[in-house]
Amino acid sequence: MFGAPGSNSSRKKQSGTTEYPTAKQLFSYMVSELLETDIWSWLHFEARQSKGWAEIALDSDDLLVNFLFPFRDSLENVFSNKEVEIPESWALDYFKKKKAATFRVNKVQADGVINFLDNLFIKVYECPIDYVVTGEFSR
């Protein structure tokens, strides 16, 4: 994890509200906010309907996409079986079965990261289509 949720200075937002009706809209807003910061910051997302989590941090020109990987199978097999596509340009920085994985993605591909987060919660963590996610912006 990039940092403990609630550490230092943090702000929380939630989807399923008038402001952010869907989780994808919340992801989009918060990733845009992260891209505008000039100090080390990260986002932490959790869904009520899942034990899964994901984190995004800005590292120079890259986004680090860190997420729970609770499976015994390989990342490739799980994502293939769940029909989650990973662009070839994404570099796998860290992977440990039954623990977590981290992709390094150029920040110009932020829209792809937002789509990945949505697919991660729906297809991999098996949340319902109308899942509610809490996002925390920390520095």
Q: CB pairs under 8 A, 24+ apart, for 28-33? A: 28/114, 30/56, 30/135, 30/137, 31/56, 31/63, 31/110, 31/113, 31/114, 32/110, 33/137
Q: Could you give the CA distance from residue 47 to residue 52 in angstroms, rounded to a whole number?
A: 7
pLDDT at 127: 96
**pLDDT digit string (tens) for the chain, length 139 residues:** 445 555 567 799 999 999 999 999 999 999 999 999 888 899 999 998 899 999 999 998 999 999 999 999 999 999 999 999 999 999 999 999 999 999 999 999 999 999 999 999 999 999 999 999 999 999 8
Backbone angles phi and psi of 97, in degrees to 5: -55, 145
Residue appearing with tokens 């289509």: 129
Q: Is residue 3 part of a domain?
A: no
Q: Is residue 5 part of a domain?
A: no
Q: Is residue 116 part of a domain?
A: yes
pLDDT at 53: 97
Q: Is residue 6 part of a domain?
A: no
pLDDT at 136: 96
Instruction: Write out the residue range of the structural domain in which residue 44 sits.
Output: 11-138
Q: How many folded domains does the chain comprise?
A: 1
pLDDT at 80: 97
**Which CATH number goes with the domain that contains 74?**
3.30.1460
Q: What is the DSSP letter of 122?
A: I
Q: Is residue 91 part of a domain?
A: yes
